[in-house]
Structure 1
Amino acid sequence: MQALFQLSAPWWHFVLRAVLVYVMVMVLMRISGKRAVGQFTPFDLVLLILIGNAVQNGINGGDNSLTGAALMAGTLIVINYLVALAAARNARIQRLIEGAPVLLARDGQVFHAVLRRELVSEQDFQEALRQAGVENVNQVALAVLETNGHISVVPRQA
């Protein structure tokens, strides 16, 4: 029973590992782009599961104790809270973590190079137009890829 709670390394190893893996995964997710986060597909779910599995040993260092698991989970929750708090209170930190909205179209003109750079397919763009009740791109005043990966469409006023 005692083995369930006995750590295989000092407690601060687990905290340090959790912090480093959290930062690494956040950087990788940020690099992957807005669409990877905002438009969750079955492939993205598989990727998320595999990333979780890939970083597991990096966090726990082979320790399977309940104490280690509690330390790591607690550390990840605290880090996530602190990052959210910092982003809510500081615009520069928020922009660094979340990025900035990107203009995809204006006044009926679609910026195809921006669509490609942001990994937005023509089908996804057209779907966003339909969801906004826009039948033709000429009816678009603005189309913006938001920081959460969703496309906001503002129709032209009639």
Structure 2
Amino acid sequence: MIQFPYLDIIFRSVAVYFFMTIALRVFGKKELSQLNTADIILILLISNSVQNAMVGPDTSLSGGLVAALVLFVINFIIKKLTHKYKIVSDLLLDKPQVLIHNGKLDFTILSKLDISDDELKEAMREHGIEHFSDVKLAMLEIDGTISIISGDKKNLKQTHYKRKHNHKNLQKF
């Protein structure tokens, strides 16, 4: 029987990929588009800590390239599956959340997402909206931005505000 020398690296890389996906999903980091210093340090330390878990004793160039290739392939497959199958998308991706609808704030969602009054007001001011009653729709998008649609018929516009907050959780890809 022919032994495939990189099978162990492939298995380890797949296991680490799924562990990290689940861990990031559980810890709920929604703002990967806005990493702060602590987030960058965390990512660097995690990548360093899981490197040996993926390649094991094989620290050769080819071992590292096989691990990287496996990660790219898994990521490609996951993206295809999330586009094709709603159940996979529901498991792996967050949903946009309504924060304000027709001037009424959803305090339950705001509390759950740890979005402050000041943060909402900053997003509104950034886009020329003064009062909550002037907001037709405000959504926290899956990439961590707050989209705002003005209720003013003359000035109907959609804007995006990048969140800059200290979310306690850690996230998803």
TM-score (norm 2): 0.77
2:112 pairs with one of 109, 112, 117: 117
Offset, 1:44? 1.7
Matched AA of 2:67:
M
User: Which structure shows the higher helix fraction?
Assistant: 1
Please give the alpha-carbon distance, in whole angstroms, between the structure 2 residues aligned to 1:39 and 1:112: 24
* Residue matched to 1:76: 71
Runs (5+) with no aligned partner, structure 1: 1-8
User: Which structure shows the higher strand fraction?
Assistant: 2
Residues 109-142 of structure 1, C-alpha deviations (whole Å, 9 max, x = no match): 2223312211333343233223333122121111
Indicate the structure whose relative CO is greater, using CA pairs within 8 Å and at least 6 residues apart: 2
Does residue 66 in structure 1 map to residue 66 in structure 2? Answer: no
2:135 pairs with one of 132, 140, 154: 140
What root-mean-square deviation, in Å, do the aligned CA atoms of Structure 1 and Structure 2 show? 2.0
Q: How many residues align?
A: 150
Q: 1:133 to 1:62 in 2, by over 3 A?
A: farther
2:11 pairs with one of 9, 16, 28: 16
Please give the alpha-carbon distance, in whole angstroms, between the structure 2 residues aligned to 1:141 and 1:62: 57
* Residue matched to 2:28: 33
Instruction: Tell me if the contact between 1:35 and 1:119 (Cα under 8 Å) persists in the aligned partners.
Output: no
Residues 50-84 of structure 1, C-alpha deviations (whole Å, 9 max, x = no match): 22122222112232111110110110010011111
Instruction: Tell me if the contact between 2:124 and 2:148 (Cα under 8 Å) persists in the aligned partners.
Output: yes
The 5-angstrom pairing of residues 49-60 of structure 1 reads 49-60=44-55
TM-score (norm 1): 0.83
SS at match of 1:143: strand
Instruction: Tell me if the contact between 1:105 and 1:142 (Cα under 8 Å) persists in the aligned partners.
Output: yes
Q: Could you tell me the percent identity over the aligned residues?
A: 31
SS at match of 1:24: helix
